[in-house]
Amino acid sequence: MSALTYLLPWEFSPVLLLSVLIIGGLYTRAVFLKVNKERTAKFYWQVLSFYLGLLSIYIVSHTYVDYLSQYMFWVHRFQHLVLHHLGPLLLVLGGIQWVRQGVPSRFPGWHCVPVFIRLPSELCYRFIQHPVIAPVVFVGLIYMWLIPEIHFAAMLSKKLYWLMNWSMLIDGFLFWWLVLGPEWQGEQKGFKTRLLMMVVVVVPQQLLGAYLTLSRNVLYDVYDVCGRAWPISPLSDQIYGGVITWIPASMMSVLGLVLVLRRRLIYLKRAEHELS
């Protein structure tokens, strides 16, 4: 198998491909509009972060990695680590809000969307982005899709499989946008809320990862039914997947905690400078 084969779509998804191309294209347009105004190191780091995030999401969702994730539990957990944690976090840090600036002015804005579509969407968004609801949904989705019976059904159904992956990606983006998006500048009230949110989501992920790693029973026999892509024992496959859920996923949340603290320090320094 050639290297190109690994990069080709395993199951072609026009929705995913168009989403990546449109978002990447609008962001690139915005970057070219900004490049003559902002040539700071932060600007280039943001651009790099965005493209790495978008590329990582594409790789785990639309290449040979997607095939492996359907036949290896630990690859599946790695895929969701990228879709739910790493990819969305990089997009938010990369300034995904610039995509809006890349939209040509002749295109209608959100206010032009019919009220019967716009109003329910906004109400749903506000509900999911509530500081109490967002962490529950963030951790709850991980737990829900790893319930053995639900996981079994999702891995055998193409529609459920895509629903699982899209739900993880969208929720990951919404969560990291709430925690580190530009709408929060580091003020005291927001700082305490986001700090608590990051602490709350760490422990349940650690407990789940530890349970998967230390369990002596094979919980996900769907990979025995479908057959594993590589010769590995079912228990070893589960242990590797548990470790990915336990350590890297938890560390991503710890990284989020550090970034929240950093945002607060920058805000305090800026406020101190303005007062002096």
d(CA 173, CA 162) in angstroms, rounded, equals 16
Q: pLDDT tens track of the chain, all 276 residues?
A: 566 677 778 788 899 999 999 999 999 999 988 766 667 788 889 999 999 999 999 999 999 999 999 999 999 999 999 999 999 999 999 999 999 888 887 877 777 778 888 889 999 999 999 999 999 999 999 999 999 999 999 999 999 999 999 999 999 999 999 999 988 888 888 999 999 999 999 999 999 999 999 999 999 999 988 888 888 999 999 999 999 999 998 899 889 999 999 999 988 888 888 777
Residue position matching structure tokens 């230390």? 214
Please tell me the total count of domains within the chain: 1
Counting Cβ atoms within 10 Å, is residue 153 exposed (0-12), middle (13-18) or buried (19+)?
Answer: middle
* DSSP string for 159-182: HHHHHHHHHHHHHHHHHHHHHHST
HSE at residue 200, side-chain half, CA atoms within 13 A, is 18
> Which residue range is the domain that position 183 belongs to?
3-275
Determine the Cα–Cα distance for residues 128 and 142; give it in Å rounded to an integer: 16
Q: Cβ atoms within 10 A of the Cβ of 167, count?
A: 16
Q: Which of 192, 175, 204 is nearest to 261 (CA)?
A: 192
